[in-house]
């Protein structure tokens, strides 16, 4: 069979997928770009060309800068915590102890829980009057009075991050565990004979095996965290005093609650650009650290 025919056939087989992707993602993306230069309303007027007005308006608004820093903070802290907790849990699960198989099995549970259910569950736990967290902490005498976890800007974002971490660190743990099991026994044994301490063993013997898979998890989680909508929508809707409003929620508000499709589109594209830059930077990093992993 000739190479040309192989390639043509490959494209033909790819065609259905590509057509759907272009129609349902490519076209809307192009249309979002068009909308972002208009003052279109969601319902009704199609809008007139307004140049870069929407962009300058959005980029200079205090809402945007504040929301950007909230989102960044959420992404950085929650992803970092998930990575650290995930690796620690994986190291634990790589030890031999009774019940290990069961515990490994349990790890899948938080990850399988739908995001909205997770958010709902934690919202109930954080309830200021009847929540389990307040009850538990008071009964353990760790706090004197019930607190408003989701009502204080100082704790609301942290509370969201905890909820997000709880759901996602097991995933990191499972990925890291799979990688750990690929570390040959004799290498760790050799390092032990060489007198390497636990930290050095982790740093020089084990970490290289983890780096590739962990980078992939890191990239995916960071992108996810930057796009965060569901968990915040259910738990705080961006409150109190907008202290937990993420970029996605800001776009929703602009485009759907206020029905300003044009400026909402420009804001959405700014977010897209940020995520893309982030992903490209990461991808470069992945290539550097892991070589073949992508």
Using CB under 8 A as the binding rule, the residues of this chain from 251 to 280 that contact other proteins are 251-253, 255-259, 261, 264-265, 268-269, 271-272, 275-276, 279
Candidates 49, 56, 65, 116: give the one binding other proteins (CB under 8 A). 116
The DSSP H or E segment spanning 228 is none
Q: Taking CB under 8 A as the criterion, which residues in 55-114 touch other proteins?
A: 89, 92, 95, 97, 99-100, 103-114
- Interface size with other proteins, residues (CB under 8 A): 118
**Closest separation between CB of residue 267 and other proteins, Å?**
8
Tokens of 245: 């409003």
Q: Residues 173-202 vs other proteins: string with x where CB under 8 A?
A: -xx--xx--------xx--x----------
Q: Which of 148, 202, 207, 211 binds other proteins (CB under 8 A)?
A: 148
**47, 57, 146, 202: residue in contact with other proteins (rule CB under 8 A):** 146
Residues of this chain, 206-245, that bind other proteins according to CB under 8 A: 213, 216-217, 220-221, 223-224, 226-227, 229-230, 233-234, 236-242
CA angle 24, 234, 268 (to 5 degrees): 40
Residue from 97, 93, 159, 100 nearest 126 by CA = 159
Sign of torsion, CA 162 167 168 170? Answer: positive
Among 2, 24, 60, 142, binds other proteins (CB under 8 A): 24
Q: Which of residues 149-178 bind other proteins (CB under 8 A)?
A: 150-153, 166, 168, 170-171, 174-175, 178
CB of 83: closest distance to other proteins in angstroms? 12
In the structure, how many helices (H) and strands (E) does the chain have?
A: 14, 0
Evaluate whether 146 touches 128 at the Cβ level (below 8 Å).
yes
Distances (CA, A) of 120 to 113, 141, 159, 292: 11, 26, 13, 40
If DSSP codes are grouped into helix, strand and coil, which group holds residue 38? strand
CB of 49 to other proteins, least distance (A): 17
Q: What are phi and psi of 38, to 5 degrees?
A: -125, 170
Structure tokens belonging to residue 202: 């982790």
**Where do the H-state alpha helices sit in 151-229?**
153-180, 185-193, 198-200, 207-226
CB of 51 to other proteins, least distance (A): 19
């Amino acid at each position: 069979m000739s190479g040309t025919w192989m390639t043509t056939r490959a494209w033909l087989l790819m065609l259905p997928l590509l057509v759907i992707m272009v129609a349902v993602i490519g076209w809307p993306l192009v249309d979002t770009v068009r909308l972002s230069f208009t003052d279109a309303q969601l319902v009704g007027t199609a809008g007139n060309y307004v140049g870069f007005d929407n962009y300058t308006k959005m980029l200079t608004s205090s809402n945007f800068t504040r929301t950007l820093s909230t989102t960044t903070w959420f992404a950085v802290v929650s992803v970092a915590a998930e990575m650290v907790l995930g690796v620690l849990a994986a190291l634990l699960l790589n030890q031999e102890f009774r019940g290990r198989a069961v515990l490994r099995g349990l790890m899948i549970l938080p990850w399988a829980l739908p995001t909205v259910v997770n958010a709902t569950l934690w919202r109930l736990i954080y309830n200021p009057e009847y929540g389990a967290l307040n009850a538990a902490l008071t009964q353990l005498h760790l706090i004197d009075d019930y607190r408003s976890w989701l009502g204080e800007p100082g704790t609301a974002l942290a509370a969201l991050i905890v909820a997000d971490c709880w759901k996602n660190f097991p995933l990191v743990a499972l990925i890291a565990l799979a990688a750990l099991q690929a570390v040959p026994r004799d290498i760790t044994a050799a390092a032990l004979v060489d007198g390497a301490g636990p930290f050095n063993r982790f740093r020089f013997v084990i970490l290289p095996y983890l780096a590739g898979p962990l980078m992939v998890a890191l990239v995916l989680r960071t992108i996810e965290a930057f796009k965060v909508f569901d968990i915040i929508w259910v738990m705080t809707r961006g409150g109190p005093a907008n202290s937990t409003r993420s970029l996605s929620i800001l776009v929703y508000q602009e485009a759907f609650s206020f029905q300003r499709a044009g400026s909402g589109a420009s804001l959405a594209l700014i977010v897209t650009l940020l995520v893309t830059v982030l992903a490209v930077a990461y991808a470069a990093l992945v290539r550097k650290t892991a070589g073949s992993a992508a």
